[in-house]
Amino acid sequence: MPSPINRQWVLTARPDGPIGDHNFRWTQGAIPSISEGQMLLRNLWLSFDPTQWFLMAYYSEVDSESNGIPIGGVMRGLTVSQVVESRLEGFHPGDLVHGYSGWEEYSASDGRGYFPTTRVPPGVPPNLALGTLGVTGMAAYFGVVDVARPKAGETFVVSAAAGGVGSIAGQMAKILGLKVIGIAGGRQKCDWLVGEAGFDGAIDHRSEDVGARLTALCPDGIDIYFDNVGGPTLDLARERLRRNGRIVVCGGTSRYAETVQPPGPVNYLALCMVNGRMEGLLARDYADRFPEAVAALSGWLASGRLRSKEDVVVGLEHAPSTLARLYSGANFGKQLLKIADPVDLPAA
């Protein structure tokens, strides 16, 4: 049952360089009271995603769809929560749900948001509901299947390959019969990509010349580049794109924290010379097809062909430092934070 207070993190400063504790304030407030059409949620797990930088950086009172977070507002993101009390049709006490909620112990929700709140399927652990079988997995699945349109035998390169999306996308490409090269930061991550995830090769961008290694590992060029970082790495991959090659623009973590945005890709016109394609990806555009992706990913997980790599921090008090791990490259797998376990609640 709810405790007398609600511990929470509120936003105090917009990003101006690296994100950290200085952007937030640790405080406590009252547990929300709900009205008709709402439910009271006890937050159990938090997902950390690079695009949360945009929620911190921009705020608009008129854009109701993605209006960011006001200064003094509770930080939020994707969560798995347990319904404590419900006055919202279709949700009942005890239900585990996936949706947007706050960096706090208890939140009031109307079930709406950038991603509407849904029930976690029976038997799916909360961590998987936020990672491989959540929006992270959806981005990887549809980025590979729909945007990249892979063909067996092609060469597939993915950046941030040991992160949440990158690790799934690369393994998917391997399952589909492609040669897969991952770019990651650190020997441990690269060893995992080859030894555990089954990649054909890995490049440590912290200690190796990425361009030279791409040439060595992809002597005939790159058919698909799945981009999670942007910046110079994107340029290096584009230079090696084969005829009819594809670039999937999923993210740009190397650019989010820059206060002055540099020019775009320096060699993008060269796409014309190889009839190349560069296309962006928003996972929520495929919301009506999420069951297709969940079925495929679940099957690969069950068979052992797909490994779910997670980086789990425990304790709501560590939320700001956990988010900062994404932008420093410290995370190894999908970045999650566990607040609490579900409890038995009487059904309505």
As annotated, the residues of the chain forming the CATH 3.90.180.10 domain(s) are 6-131+308-338
Higher pLDDT, 211 or 260: 211
pLDDT at position 177: 98
Can you tell me which residue has the tokens 């407030």?
A: 29
How many C-beta atoms lie closer than 10 Å to residue 318's C-beta?
14
Average pLDDT, the chain: 92
- Give dist(CA 221, CA 214) in Å, integer: 8
CATH topology of domain 6-131+308-338: Quinone Oxidoreductase; Chain A, domain 1 (3.90.180)
What is the bridge-based pairing of β-strands 277-280 and 155-158?
unpaired
Q: For residue 254, is pLDDT > 80? A: no
Q: Check: pTM over 0.85? Answer yes or no.
A: yes
The whole-number pLDDT of residue 176 equals 98
> In this predicted structure, what is the pLDDT of residue 66?
58
The DSSP bridge partners found for residue 179 are: 155
In the predicted model, is pLDDT for residue 82 greater than 90?
Answer: yes
Q: pLDDT tens-digit profile of 1-14?
A: 555 789 999 999 99
Delimiting residues of CATH 3.40.50.720 domain(s) in the chain? 135-303
The CATH fold of domain 135-303: Rossmann fold (3.40.50)
pLDDT at 347 > cutoff 60: no
